[in-house]
Amino acid sequence: MMNTFDAKPQEDRDYEELKQRSRTAEIFCSLILYLLLSDVKIETAEAVN
């Protein structure tokens, strides 16, 4: 029997949560990558000078 209080089925809510988590992970990875790359640029700029 389905719970009538749920606006969405459980699968849809799980999918939305998974989508949100993967988006968060994507942002987190991008941030780390950006920091690593910017760190490398700073080091190479210092090495040139």
Structure tokens at 12: 């849809």
- This prediction's pTM: 0.51
Q: Would residue 2 count as lying in a domain?
A: no
For residue 24, what pLDDT is reported? Answer: 95
25-42 pLDDT tens trace: 999 999 999 988 887 776
- Tell me whether residue 19 is in a domain: yes
> What is the span of the domain harbouring residue 24?
11-49
pLDDT of residue 39: 78
Residue 3 domain-assigned (yes or no): no
On whether residue 46 sits in a domain, the answer given is yes
Does some domain include residue 49? Answer: yes
Q: Is residue 24 part of a domain?
A: yes
Number of domains into which the chain is organized: 1
Instruction: Provide the b/e sequence for 20-38 (b: ≥16 CB within 10 Å).
Output: eeeeeeeeeeeeeeeeeee
pLDDT at position 9: 81
Question: In the structure, how many helices (H) and strands (E) does the chain have?
Answer: 1, 0
User: Is residue 43 situated within a structural domain?
Assistant: yes
Is position 37 within any domain? yes
